[in-house]
Chain A
Amino acid sequence: MVSAFKKALESGKFVVTCEAAPPKGTNLDRMAHDIELLKDKVDGINVTDHQSSVMRFPSLGGALLVKELGGEPILQMTCRDRNRLALQADLLFASYKGIHNVLCLTGDSIMLGDHKEAKSVFDLDSSQLVAVVRTLEEGKDTSGNDLDGGVSFCAGAIVTPEATPLEPQLIKFEKKIEAGAEFIQTQAVFDLDRFKEFMEYARQFQVKILAGIILLTSAPMARFMNKNIAGVFVPQDLIDEMASAPKGQALAKGIEIAGRMIRRIQEEKMCDGVHIMAIGKEDLVPEIMSVAGLI
């Protein structure tokens, strides 16, 4: 079973993925609305897994919703909340239900979220989780027992190309590929010349790379990310450009910048596609794509 997303990756087309965040609660209206809007425009919709360690409707449930609505889900799975039994069980269930793409993440610290006193698990790490996916595909669980009925996944992971120091990140990136990652989504990139340097190195590996694009919503938001989000670096000229937008026009400016960056990435064939993170403004993804000339 080759997923539609994997086919898109292999087709050589410029792949676009985006995100859908499950709600806190059971009201899926907004999420369903975003999925309906996006499902025919993108090649895959990532469903986030208790993003920033904030308890929400599960990513598995959100991925099922994407599937039910006719979209292509990419199930995000972190190692923060489940041990290897629970992770394997969820992978069996996902594959059974037709969810065949998984993004393997370590997961943010519990201390960043809204249940700070909870026990975090981290029985596995992201590279080990990729290996677990491949083991299940071979018809075995991680203890070597036979599975009755198998799974199939297109498995991916992430990298932060602007981390300092960079080399430890790259060593881990290579471990993820060695473990069997087929695609890599990057943390948000803004300085495309630096991203090109990263791609010169990354090109040597058999892996598809999707550049992470975050929608800037204002100059203070860009400054906040520089200060608080590890490995995200918005250059001063982009902050100035955001600040120069007339009152009420900052968001439009952000859309323009994101679209412009995507266009350049595609025109210069920097990598295999983009992963757009609109963080709460998923309904603007079509606009960004249209500025980028993708739709």
Chain B
Amino acid sequence: MIRSITQLKSEEEIDRLLEGLMRVFIVGCGTCVTLTHTGGEPEVTAMNESLSKKGKLITGQTVVPVACDNLTSDMLGEFGPQMDQSDALLIMTCAFGVQTIARQLKKMVVPALDTLFIGKETGPGEFNEVCIQCGTCIIGETGGICPVTSCHKGLVNGPCGGTDNGKCEIDRRKDCVWTMIYNRLLDLGRLDSMRIIQPPRNHLGEPTPGKMILPEA
């Protein structure tokens, strides 16, 4: 399942963003941020306590099931009066949730988290980005492993000179994706596809900002 991977902003930054905003309503989410322990029930409650200690008036808190869902405004409906009294909503969801709420409610929103990447849970407590949606997919020639995403430099023609014993030059604990691709193609007997010279990437494949309108059926 696709997961939005987030990290709590620093205390100083949250304090700065909430400066002059006295009455705060806190929103968490029951999906990705619950999994990553950044915006589930326990984190929302801890934030409530910490801000209360700093003298903020917490008008309420809730954890919606899926913050990025268009039904979120309905879920928040029952808190209408509390939110109306608030100077700001502190949103402990990924930026998709923050923007969904900002679009639906006429309220100042303050994100409490940074959204790092969209990835998947590849092991207990381990999350990895696997696709940056480049729009010109080449993994048919790289054994189903994506170098655009998983090579630190996004190289499409093979490893850089920094690769060492299968590890990446930026972090000896991170696998060099080109060693992984090589091993996989070797296993599959398809090493020839690593010899294909990939042209420079076509960045038009990735509309900036991404937008698509389906043609009428």
The residues of A with any CB-CB pair to B shorter than 8 Å are 80, 84, 105-109, 111-112, 120, 122-128, 131, 142, 158, 160, 163-165, 167-169, 171-172, 174-175, 178-179, 187, 230-231
Contacts and interface: CB of A to CB of B under 8 A. Distances in A.
A171 B194 contact: yes
Contacts of B154: 122
Interface of B: 152-166, 169-170, 178-179, 182, 191, 194-195, 197, 199-201, 203
A171 B169 contact: no
B interface SS class: loop
Contacts of A165: 166, 179, 182
Nearest to A168: B182
Given A128-B199, A171-B158, 17 more contacts: A80-B153, A105-B161, A106-B155, A108-B169, A109-B162, A111-B170, A120-B153, A127-B197, A163-B163, A163-B164, A164-B164, A164-B165, A165-B179, A168-B159, A175-B197, A231-B161, A231-B163
Contacts of B153: 80, 106-107, 109, 120, 122, 125
B157 A172 contact: yes
A146 to B, nearest CB: 19
Given A108-B169, A109-B152, A230 B197 contact: no
B179 A230 contact: no
A292 B184 CA distance: 45
Nearest to A123: B200
B157 A127 contact: yes
Contacts of B159: 163, 168-169, 172
Nearest to A132: B200
Nearest to B182: A168
A175 B157 contact: yes
B169 A168 contact: no
A221 B194 CA distance: 36
Contacts of B164: 163-164, 230-231
Contacts of B191: 167, 171
B170 A168 contact: no
Contacts of A109: 152-153, 162, 169-170
A167 B195 contact: no
B197 A122 contact: no
Contacts of A126: 160
A230 B169 contact: yes
B182 A167 contact: yes
Given A178-B197, A179-B197, A172 B169 contact: no
A201 B134 CA distance: 37
8 contacts: A106-B161, A122-B153, A142-B200, A167-B182, A171-B182, A172-B159, A175-B195, A230-B161
B169 A112 contact: yes
Contacts of B170: 109, 111-112
A121 B191 CA distance: 28
Contacts of A111: 152, 170
A151 to B, nearest CB: 18
A109 B156 CA distance: 16
Contacts of A107: 153
A160 B158 contact: no
Nearest to A170: B158
Of B153, B164, B178, B182, the most chain A CB neighbours within 10 A belong to: B153
B162 A230 contact: yes
| Nearest 7 interchain pairs by C-beta | A172-B158, A230-B164, A168-B182, A106-B160, A122-B153, A125-B155, A230-B162
A112 B155 CA distance: 17
Most buried by A among B155, B156, B161, B179: B161
Contacts of A122: 153-155
Contacts of A187: 161
B56 to A, nearest CB: 31
